[in-house]
Amino acid sequence: MPKIQLAAQGAEHGPGHDPRTDHLRPVIDFLLAKGNRPSHWWHESGFWFDQGGELHYTFTDPIDAAELREHFDFPPSIRLSDDGAIRDGPNHFDIYYDRPAKRFSFEGLPAATAPLQNPQAAPERPAADDGTADERLRQIAERMRQEPGR
* pLDDT the model gives residue 122: 44
Q: Are strands 72-73 and 4-5 parallel, antiparallel or unpaired?
A: parallel
Is residue 7 exposed (0-12), middle (13-18) or buried (19+ Cβ within 10 Å)?
A: middle
* pLDDT the model gives residue 34: 92
| Residue 75 binned pLDDT confidence (cut-offs 50, 70, 90) | very high
pLDDT in tens, 29-67: 999 999 988 887 776 677 777 778 788 888 889 999 999
Query: How many DSSP H helices and E strands does the chain contain?
Result: 3, 7
Contact 37, 137 (CB under 8 A): yes
